[in-house]
Structure 1
Amino acid sequence: MAKKPEPESFMDMFSKFGRDLKMPAVDVDTIIGHHRKNLEALEQSVKATASGASSLVAKQREMLQEALHEITEAAQGLRAPGNPQELISRQADFAKRSFEAAVKNAGEVASIVRKSGTESVDILRSRIHESIEEIRDSFDKKK
């Protein structure tokens, strides 16, 4: 019995189709390199964001410890007997220190978040600019 020729695979059919159309060759290594750089930039951006989140958690822990210490001291001071005016004065002083600490801590938290976000965006922005230059260079080479 005569052997039937094996049918062409899809890849062979598409390759033949591309040759017949005389399409330009695609530099797969360049494309992979381009995407590798994109993924590396994304990884760096994520690391910067994670580092910022870690710093934020550490700062919040520090703020909580300070607040608990202040509250403990204030509670012990309020239990001591004394005249009512002195007690009110201590409460007002505690409220003032608490407010000042809250404002200071909010500023520090905002600074950490801003720094982390800026660093992350700068990494991605830099990669976008590099990518645009790579595209321009590839068009200039074809001319």
Structure 2
Amino acid sequence: MADKMTSQKPDAETTSAARKTAFEASAAGQGAAPMQDFDFKKMFDEMKLPQMPDVEAVLGAHRRNLEALSEANRLALEGAQTVARRHMEIMQATMSGLTQTLREIAATDTPNERAAKHAELLKQAYENAVCNTRELGDLIQKSHAEAMEKLNRRFSEAMTEMQSALKK
């Protein structure tokens, strides 16, 4: 049984001789040489590879994108600062108004006058709060609209640039 296993394995000399014979046949033009007539240059010339993009144009587009993003961030920050400033002004006006209101309430003599004054001041405070909230909301909306308009304009420009680049 051991003799059968060893007899099935080709020895090194037989394998080497077979390789040498195949190589010589191939070099002499005999036998199968499937890649001999294959023209790699022709294959690569016929391939439709995409053109390399203009690196300067790509970098310029990215630079303009970053500039637009920076500008939108600047507009958003300025808007947030405006809202915070106005909110502080409203708070200061509310506090000074509250001080004045407390003095007026303390100066009234009768409970009926105080109740009427409370109702009037409550109505005025509610109207002021609604007005101030609307004003702050408008400031926020304006700030966001300016920033988004800047980004939308750049996006539109980028799409136009991409279309013209693809047509080349």
The interval holding the TM-score normalised by the smaller chain is 0.7 to 0.9
Structure 1 gaps, min length 5: 1-20
The equivalent residue for 2:154 is 127
Amino acid at match of 2:146: E
- Taking only the aligned residue pairs, the percentage that are identical comes to 27
| 1:74, distance to aligned residue in structure 2 (A) | 1.2
| Cα distance between partner residues in 2 of 1:85 and 1:61 | 35
> Out of 72, 75, 82, which is 2:109 matched to?
82
Structure 1 residues 106 and 31, CA gap change in structure 2 (3 angstroms):
same
The equivalent residue for 1:50 is 77
Amino acid at match of 1:122: E
The equivalent residue for 1:28 is 55
| Cα distance between partner residues in 1 of 2:162 and 2:104 | 69
Q: Give the match's secondary structure for 1:61.
A: helix
Q: What is the number of residues matched between the two proteins?
A: 121
Runs of 4+ residues deviating >6 angstroms: none
Structure 1 residues 73 and 97, CA gap change in structure 2 (3 angstroms):
same
| 1:77, distance to aligned residue in structure 2 (A) | 1.6
Structure 2 gaps, min length 5: 1-43
Question: Highest relative contact order (Cα 8 Å, sep 6+), 1 or 2?
Answer: 1
Structure 1 residues 105 and 81, CA gap change in structure 2 (3 angstroms):
closer
| Cα distance between partner residues in 1 of 2:128 and 2:108 | 27
Root-mean-square deviation over aligned CA pairs:
1.4
The equivalent residue for 1:112 is 139
| Cα distance between partner residues in 2 of 1:85 and 1:30 | 78
Amino acid at match of 1:48: L
